[in-house]
Amino acid sequence: MSSLPTDRQGRTPASFRLDKTNGKLMGVCAGLADHFGGDPLVWRLIFVASACVSVGTFGLIYLAIGLLAD
């Protein structure tokens, strides 16, 4: 059985982890920025704008990601 390639931290390329050292609240937006590339501020603005437009649904999604992700 072949093993999946890993990076320096032992993660597979498709894995998602919270970035609590660079994160503000739970590390969700910083983790998304690490995983997909980009600036965590952009992810924070997306979540805040989406939470306002969706009457809090994205706030629940943020909470779920923060609680379920590593």
Q: Is residue 7 part of a domain?
A: no
**Confidence at 1, pLDDT banded by 50, 70, 90:** very low
Number of domain units in the chain: 1
Whether residue 8 has pLDDT greater than 70: no
**Confidence at 22, pLDDT banded by 50, 70, 90:** confident
- DSSP letter (8 states) at residue 70: -
Q: What is the pLDDT of residue 9?
A: 60
Provide the domain limits for residue 37: 17-54
- 69 contacts 16 by C-beta, under 8 angstroms: yes
Q: What is the pLDDT of residue 36?
A: 87
DSSP string, 1-69: -PPPP--TTS--TT-----TTT-SSSSHHHHHHHHH-S-HHHHHHHHHHHHHHTTTHHHHHHHHHHHH-
Q: Is residue 11 part of a domain?
A: no
Q: Is residue 1 part of a domain?
A: no
Q: Is residue 3 part of a domain?
A: no
Q: Is residue 60 part of a domain?
A: no
pTM score above 0.85? no
